[in-house]
Structures are given as C-alpha cells and as structure tokens.
C-alpha cells in the first residue's frame, strides 16, 4: 500500500506543470533588485557559479571564479 501511494505521489509531481512555482513580476523600481544574487552562468569554458551584488542605484558588481565585472 505504501509503495502504491509513493508511486502515485511521484507520478503527480512528474506530470504536474510547475508554472505556478515561480511567477513573473514586473519591476517597478530598481531598488527592488538590490541585494546579493547567486546562480549559474554559462561561459565558453562551461558552467560556473556567479554572484551579483546590486546596489539601490542600479549599479552592480558580478563575480565568478574566473573574475569580476562592474
């Protein structure tokens, strides 16, 4: 019984759309983006971790393991 329930739950997650998980949001003011953002970037040499620090005035500094940019 537990195995059947686990299979049903797994099938529901596999077949359900994930559209509602992360919705779009219109940015009204650049101050809403201020903070530290982390994620992945794709470069010629492959994927790597990146961090972007955004200031309230919209200026930013991004860095990866290979360097930084402003």
Residue 60 belongs to a domain: yes
pLDDT of the residue at 52 = 92
- Please name which of 55, 61, 63, 62 lies closest in space to residue 33, comparing C-alpha atoms: 55
pLDDT of the residue at 25 = 79
pLDDT of the residue at 67 = 75
Residue 41's contacts (CB-CB under 8 Å, 6 or more residues apart) are 47, 48, 50, 64
10 Å Cβ neighbour count for 60?
14
Q: Containing domain of residue 48, as a range?
A: 31-70
pLDDT of the residue at 70 = 60
pLDDT of the residue at 34 = 92
Residue 58 belongs to a domain: yes
Residue 53 belongs to a domain: yes
What parts of the chain have a pLDDT lower than 70? 1-2, 11-23, 68-70
């Amino acid at each position: 019984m537990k195995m059947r329930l686990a299979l049903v739950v797994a099938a529901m997650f596999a077949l359900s759309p994930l559209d509602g998980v992360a919705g779009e949001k219109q940015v009204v003011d650049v101050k809403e983006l201020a903070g530290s953002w982390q994620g992945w970037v794709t470069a010629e040499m492959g994927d790597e971790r990146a961090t972007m620090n955004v200031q309230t005035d919209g200026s930013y500094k991004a860095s990866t393991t290979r360097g930084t940019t402003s």
